[in-house]
Structure 1
């Protein structure tokens, strides 16, 4: 075989940038091989031009771990991807397009293709290229020790060579990872039983050598999590954090956790009620039915749902309310984790939630369910991933106000802090001017919540940005101006000193009606008193998606929310909208 090297000189090309950082510019590349003036082979592909570095350098916290694109340090915000169906032939290209569009609409810029899954269809990577979604691609090895003989290694390298040659042209792929959790588990086995690390040479020698030869610009790590003295080291590498949720610890414990990059963490919630109506018989729609429990593949997964629901809400027996409140817990758990680790920038430079999607109707860690209907967590994460955001986080001395700025420009804002009671009354108020440097975090203030809340069971604190009201237009999913726009009505953070089960919440009258604005369908939402965890749905159309949902609202507040079709993201009018609340 012969090799031909062709060098193209492009002056001042438009570069490919991650979503939210810049435009993911793509070029059409057409290559033809001719013999005696006649074409014998031709390939065409859309390509992007960019540089990528995975930075791991010593610093005063340990060793960094983050991605640098075109010389710019990027805070990774995203989720883990699993196969979109248990039966892969059912996954049509439009499913990949819609699910990745939901990731981009949630202000994500990275997707990790988990090693327990598959190399995805070409449509997946092309759509990631188009949307500017960086891809962390695991080789398909996970959670096991693999054979260490020559025959297995030869087969593994043939497969890897084919995958690298096929996928290396995609600008979205910014990292190749040898496996999922094998290094960590092998270290545990070595310490406990002196078990040898089978397959180590594959991930530490052969695969990185192959990647350097076929995709010389590719970044590579041997395993995830990877670290220093041990995998999951908070001082270097990435972490898979599971003592919260799987280890039965509640989500406030996220505030105790530090790390350079969190590539797995999560909290479960059931699929949406409409999805259960399609999957379960009426007599099985109960939180403790056998069929419902079997639609959760984690051992004692449903028991964990009850444990964490009981910590934050009064546990209902009615199935749909059980689902909604469980989703509320998941959403607030992930929102707290995102706020906490974003405020740790540059010490922490990435958060990838487990998981984005589902492969069947199930209770799981996903942000939207098998039918692509978003859970409450999708909205909480979307708000948490805003390029510019505000966070209220407890500290040893009180309550801290943080401004988070991922943009390349300074952020000048006026922050307003207010105390409210659950009947709608207003108490303490403070306004603070702020300027946040580019790509950084500002700890603006620390207050004593006891001085602000006369009765913690009736009062709460809200922080927002004055003059920051902007609604969604409801344009199609391909409209980048809408994807780049802040969800809802600008950054806002709520803080409650007691769980909702102890909060004396008034009987708010939440009204919702269909209303078109500027040619876009939507709904108008009103409440006379503070209302929390407000969930919008359409009684006649379970596949109507509200572009903002799972809302905490103040007394007298009015919101207009655009509506689209779940399967396509195209505008769709509500027929019989209604609202639920905590």
Structure 2
């Protein structure tokens, strides 16, 4: 099988007609074979196997049936030989001269240490996963049959060798990923599988052209002096003396520029006062405009680029005040209160993530009220599909440069590689209006100060030249309309402590590692760029990926799918202050999932209650790259964990929450909308049985984009019997609760739930009513159908209260399952003196007139 490169009939150059640029994908006909290493006999015996481009060694071996799924059980351990081997990709390339005078082979991504050969002749050697390579093959392509080959060296061995050549630098995890420009988490992380794969991971193509073509476009859509302004620099390649014309078209505005022989750049500035601005979600419409740049020769279009742009201004302000130094992201003149989540590669093999998968994940982010995604620096420069989805949804994007949790050599050849990858990706991403922050590093500036690096570095470079010199200079040159920060966390003064909550941004990890989640309230940060709590994946994901028998928190597969140092110990230590430690695996799974949700909700609501002192938080993390116990809100198979629902509650644009205030309590109200928020604040203290003990009312008015903290009357909110009383606040359609004791010390009991399940065209309406108070009520519907979801979760109901939950999916399910003790979950089940065992003898009544299933307690 050969690559599809048969050209259309060429324009006849002898008549002076220009030849348009042709871009022909190199996506089919590839084969893969091992070149060196301790490769199993079955793999060697298989000979060359079919390979997919874009793709990777692991996924090709999997498709050929030569390895088991790396995500399952303990297969990761059994497949370490893959990263220690060398691999070769080959493709036959049939080419017929097409009238072009220039031919190039383009690889958008090679992972990582590679030699590229055409007809046995070396074209280039590469050492960077994050760059695009454009290889001139003019005069090297034969008329007819050719062979293109890419040989990949073992990334594990290459990283080890590079570490010796550059000199040791401190790093986390077990491979010296900081010596090689490969995705750091490809070597494993404290949530990530160690694949150390190789492959042609982004598209490849053959480009042919004659006379002239567009080499690159550098586009910014900014707001200058209040006017939407498009700036475009068009960089051309040309090799003849023809007169060229560049046309820039956006909406109804067309600009044409003639380039005389010898000129290879066009600089275009268009002021468009009537163009609608692009706004982040919650602040206005995310207006986008179609931009087209065309190159013509003698009236014939030979090349063109198209993209969507949005006009917005952005700045990051770090201004000193009485509380320290703030951190504000300002878009179109307005501060955006960030409700963010950190983003990692959505698959350990990033080539498998397509536009539809990005759309699904960003839909989940929107469900959780997320308005900013931070692309973490141990992954990749995300694809244009990711940023296009952010553009369309009004989700802000923050992209780290790819330095994470390590010291990095500033010597050659690393310096030049870093500069080249930064140039490539700044130019590629700069036109996306969602991109508002480019950030120098993840935790390296902090690590150099606080993780004992100086003695180990012994005077060696560690990366400061990148973060404070090279990268800000490149952003200023190539994307001045995007804000730059040197690191996360960071303080504006590089000599000051870089993880100081009072200055700039902070990462808060001592809670997970050492303390307990109520201590989030010990912090009064200005902006939190990382914090989080672990929990297992959904039950359906866990049982689909592990076959441990018995399955326990410490069974072999569970331990391999827990990458954090002493992760299970930290899970246990973080649980037992709040819940008894279950011995049953199903209860353990629910307890850890719930505790993760409670911990993060506690943090987010506290940080938001500090508005405007604290202007945002970015939870670690939204997504996972494989099935694993981790900090994610969406597991490695794309399923919602309870944490996603906790974020949905804590991220509401209008938030009502109760917080401690010295020896008392206060009501914190945050109105992150463009409209005022008026109403009556009702404060009640009730017994768990529903009896009203005290009550007050007061009118409250919040201006747009404002927050208010109201001290509550101590006589009203001081309990008589702390274990069985709750404070209930209601305002403007929101309800908040405050419990005086932790779960395990409270008087929670069997809530006496009645469940009514009504089928719909695509699922169910499940109505639940409580006889007694129930905390954190949730349907774990993935136990009924792995792809089913519910619209709400983690609800507190007072005696007599009723809620209707909309379930999408599970259309053929037995309605009795929605009342099963393993599906209908609550905190009560974990702390009652004798956890209730649901009676499976459920009374079912079928009403013919409305097709409603009613399930009641026997």
Q: Report the TM-score, using the length of structure 2 for normalisation.
A: 0.62
When residues 197 and 439 of structure 1 are mapped into structure 2, their CA distance, relative to the original with a 3 A threshold, is farther
State the shift of 1:201 in Å: 1.3
State the shift of 1:437 in Å: 2.0
State the shift of 1:451 in Å: 5.4
Q: Which residue of 1 aligns with 2:485?
A: 221
* Structure 2 residue 799 is matched with structure 1 residue 533: no
Kindly indicate whether the alpha-carbon contact (under 8 Å) linking 2:325 and 2:503 is maintained by their aligned counterparts in 1. yes
Question: Unpaired runs of 5+ in structure 1?
Answer: 469-490, 566-570
Determine helix, strand or coil for the equivalent of 1:264: strand
Q: Which residue of 2 aligns with 1:6?
A: 268
Deviations 1:412-431 (CA, angstroms, capped at 9, x unpaired): 12121222222333321222
Q: Which residue of 1 aligns with 2:658?
A: 392
* Structure 2 residue 554 is matched with structure 1 residue 288: yes
1:507 is matched with which residue: 750, 753, 760? 750
Say how many residue pairs are matched: 553
State the shift of 1:364 in Å: 0.7
1:353 is matched with which residue: 619, 626, 631? 619
* Structure 2 residue 502 is matched with structure 1 residue 235: yes
When residues 531 and 70 of structure 1 are mapped into structure 2, their CA distance, relative to the original with a 3 A threshold, is same
Determine helix, strand or coil for the equivalent of 1:245: helix
Q: Which residue of 1 aligns with 2:736?
A: 493
Deviations 1:83-103 (CA, angstroms, capped at 9, x unpaired): 111122222322111111111
State the shift of 1:551 in Å: 1.5
In structure 2, how many angstroms separate the alpha carbons of the residues matched to 1:346 and 1:287? 41
Q: Which residue of 2 aligns with 1:568?
A: none
Question: Unpaired runs of 5+ in structure 2?
Answer: 1-235, 237-263, 828-858
In structure 1, how many angstroms separate the alpha carbons of the residues matched to 2:399 and 2:550? 38
Please give the root-mean-square deviation of Cα atoms over the aligned residues, in Å. 2.1
When residues 371 and 447 of structure 1 are mapped into structure 2, their CA distance, relative to the original with a 3 A threshold, is farther
In structure 1, how many angstroms separate the alpha carbons of the residues matched to 2:759 and 2:679? 31
Determine helix, strand or coil for the equivalent of 2:693: strand
In structure 2, how many angstroms separate the alpha carbons of the residues matched to 1:419 and 1:283? 48
* Structure 2 residue 527 is matched with structure 1 residue 261: yes
Q: Which residue of 2 aligns with 1:183?
A: 445
State the shift of 1:518 in Å: 11
Kindly indicate whether the alpha-carbon contact (under 8 Å) linking 2:409 and 2:460 is maintained by their aligned counterparts in 1. no
Q: Which residue of 2 aligns with 1:212?
A: 476
- Which deviates more from structure 2 when the two are superposed, residues 284-293 or residues 25-34? 284-293
In structure 2, how many angstroms separate the alpha carbons of the residues matched to 1:409 and 1:573? 43
Q: Which residue of 1 aligns with 2:667?
A: 401
State the shift of 1:304 in Å: 1.0
Q: Which residue of 1 aligns with 2:287?
A: 25
Kindly indicate whether the alpha-carbon contact (under 8 Å) linking 1:537 and 1:544 is maintained by their aligned counterparts in 2. no
When residues 575 and 120 of structure 1 are mapped into structure 2, their CA distance, relative to the original with a 3 A threshold, is farther
1:44 is matched with which residue: 306, 313, 335? 306
1:202 is matched with which residue: 466, 470, 474? 466
Kindly indicate whether the alpha-carbon contact (under 8 Å) linking 2:695 and 2:716 is maintained by their aligned counterparts in 1. no
- Which deviates more from structure 2 when the two are superposed, residues 395-404 or residues 503-512? 503-512
Q: Which residue of 2 aligns with 1:324?
A: 590
When residues 311 and 389 of structure 1 are mapped into structure 2, their CA distance, relative to the original with a 3 A threshold, is same
State the shift of 1:81 in Å: 0.4
* Structure 2 residue 563 is matched with structure 1 residue 297: yes
Deviations 1:483-508 (CA, angstroms, capped at 9, x unpaired): xxxxxxxx221111111111111211
1:561 is matched with which residue: 789, 805, 808? 805
State the shift of 1:347 in Å: 1.5
1:77 is matched with which residue: 322, 339, 354? 339
Determine helix, strand or coil for the equivalent of 1:33: strand
Kindly indicate whether the alpha-carbon contact (under 8 Å) linking 2:545 and 2:627 is maintained by their aligned counterparts in 1. yes
2:790 is matched with which residue: 546, 555, 566? 546
* Structure 2 residue 348 is matched with structure 1 residue 105: no
In structure 1, how many angstroms separate the alpha carbons of the residues matched to 2:273 and 2:814? 53
Equivalent residues in 2 for 1:365-514, closer than 5 Å? 365-448=631-714, 452-465=718-731, 468=733, 491-514=734-757
When residues 140 and 447 of structure 1 are mapped into structure 2, their CA distance, relative to the original with a 3 A threshold, is same
Kindly indicate whether the alpha-carbon contact (under 8 Å) linking 2:507 and 2:530 is maintained by their aligned counterparts in 1. yes
In structure 1, how many angstroms separate the alpha carbons of the residues matched to 2:545 and 2:715? 45
When residues 195 and 233 of structure 1 are mapped into structure 2, their CA distance, relative to the original with a 3 A threshold, is farther
State the shift of 1:195 in Å: 4.4
State the shift of 1:192 in Å: 5.4
User: Using CA pairs below 8 Å that are at least 6 residues apart, which structure has the higher relative contact order?
Assistant: 1
When residues 449 and 328 of structure 1 are mapped into structure 2, their CA distance, relative to the original with a 3 A threshold, is farther
When residues 573 and 211 of structure 1 are mapped into structure 2, their CA distance, relative to the original with a 3 A threshold, is farther
State the shift of 1:397 in Å: 2.4
Q: Which residue of 2 aligns with 1:474?
A: none
State the shift of 1:7 in Å: 2.5
In structure 2, how many angstroms separate the alpha carbons of the residues matched to 1:140 and 1:201? 14
State the shift of 1:77 in Å: 0.8
State the shift of 1:562 in Å: 2.4
When residues 380 and 501 of structure 1 are mapped into structure 2, their CA distance, relative to the original with a 3 A threshold, is same
Kindly indicate whether the alpha-carbon contact (under 8 Å) linking 1:286 and 1:317 is maintained by their aligned counterparts in 2. no
State the shift of 1:55 in Å: 0.9
In structure 2, how many angstroms separate the alpha carbons of the residues matched to 1:91 and 1:330? 27
When residues 322 and 344 of structure 1 are mapped into structure 2, their CA distance, relative to the original with a 3 A threshold, is same
Kindly indicate whether the alpha-carbon contact (under 8 Å) linking 1:389 and 1:404 is maintained by their aligned counterparts in 2. yes
1:167 is matched with which residue: 415, 419, 429? 429
Deviations 1:97-117 (CA, angstroms, capped at 9, x unpaired): 111111111111100000011
Which is greater in Rg? 2
Deviations 1:454-479 (CA, angstroms, capped at 9, x unpaired): 2111111111226x2xxxxxxxxxxx
When residues 451 and 392 of structure 1 are mapped into structure 2, their CA distance, relative to the original with a 3 A threshold, is closer
Q: Which residue of 2 aligns with 1:486?
A: none
Kindly indicate whether the alpha-carbon contact (under 8 Å) linking 1:240 and 1:265 is maintained by their aligned counterparts in 2. yes
In structure 1, how many angstroms separate the alpha carbons of the residues matched to 2:362 and 2:330? 22
In structure 1, how many angstroms separate the alpha carbons of the residues matched to 2:608 and 2:771? 34
State the shift of 1:515 in Å: 3.1
In structure 1, how many angstroms separate the alpha carbons of the residues matched to 2:438 and 2:589? 37
State the shift of 1:5 in Å: 1.6
When residues 255 and 129 of structure 1 are mapped into structure 2, their CA distance, relative to the original with a 3 A threshold, is same
Q: Report the TM-score, using the length of structure 1 for normalisation.
A: 0.91
State the shift of 1:125 in Å: 0.8
* Structure 2 residue 391 is matched with structure 1 residue 129: yes
State the shift of 1:164 in Å: 0.7
